Structure 1
């Protein structure tokens, strides 16, 4: 299943700031990101709105260090990025997903969705939750029951919060035209991936 994807900006509508272009507040906020190496374009773009950035960063960080197992969280994030047609989100979370234990085969299979051959039952339900939230803004009773077999209440709260947050991020990345970093891979291609 591929989501309808209209054209995306070919160039940044709001370009990332270079370190020398940042004021003291933006520089301070970027230091909180804790990156080693080059600035990541998402942060260097969103820091153009320092007040919003300062509130968003801890929320996103909490979800990345939340109650869901990292591997399953990354299944939700990657599926959401795919469904939203957010190449940037996909590319960044391929890296995070690998660190969380996803294999390259699993990452590619995310694009094919929950009914693709090879998923275990629970992974398929995690992906299905992302699809249901994307398509209907609600997890069905059947999928909820499957998730509740393994997840506690805090984890169940996090599932729609993660998917919702990464919709927000995908919408923003797509609309602002945040460019991929040099060498970052985009979406998988091939007969099963549109």
Structure 2
């Protein structure tokens, strides 16, 4: 399926901004280019979340879990690449669906993943929050809560516009994403 929105060129100042942040001209950005002001806001917010105080590896696990739960192949493909750069192994990515029973994730990661699932399911409890808060400061909690919340929205937007990785250089991760979505 082709994207419901035509993919257009990213306006030059925003393209330069994305590249300066270490990003690539992804199909998502080409679709968002229909509204340059919102593309800029998206980029600034997403990259602020990616450059946080908590470990990037932890945040990438959370992002991958939101993508899994939303059945977003595009998000899984893109963030599998970023997760690997942040130190997440292929075994961890493969085991993420079963994180609760897995021995690959420590108590801190499991608390963040439980927090993530509570946000995705819109069912936060005091116990889930308190469990995560024992490991993280208030500053960290804001960062983690916003990461999980933002990445609940991202796959919904991606799915709404039917964006694909067609033409992007993430073929091996598309296959991995398809496998992760087969559950």
Range of TM-score over shorter length: 0.7 to 0.9
- Within 5 Å, give how 1:95-114 maps onto structure 2: 95-114=81-100
Q: 1:14 to 1:76 in 2, by over 3 A?
A: same
Shift of 1:29: 1.2
Contact 1:76 1:130 in 2 (8 A): yes
Instruction: Give the counterpart of 1:52 among 38, 41, 53.
Output: 38
The equivalent of 1:185 in structure 2 is 173
| Cα distance between partner residues in 1 of 2:44 and 2:34 | 17
Deviations 1:16-45 (A, max 9, x none): 22x4xx5xxx22112110177962111111
The equivalent of 1:174 in structure 2 is 159
Contact 2:18 2:25 in 1 (8 A): no
| Cα distance between partner residues in 2 of 1:76 and 1:152 | 17
Q: CA RMSD in A?
A: 2.2
Structure 1 gaps, min length 5: 1-9
| Cα distance between partner residues in 1 of 2:2 and 2:152 | 21
Q: 1:123 to 1:188 in 2, by over 3 A?
A: farther
The equivalent of 1:147 in structure 2 is 132
In proportion to residue count, which structure has more helix? 2
TM-score (norm 2): 0.86
Deviations 1:114-138 (A, max 9, x none): 3344322222111111111111242
Contact 1:42 1:178 in 2 (8 A): yes
Give the length in aligned residue pairs: 177
| Cα distance between partner residues in 2 of 1:156 and 1:109 | 25
Shift of 1:89: 0.6
| Cα distance between partner residues in 2 of 1:120 and 1:39 | 35
Structure 2 gaps, min length 5: none
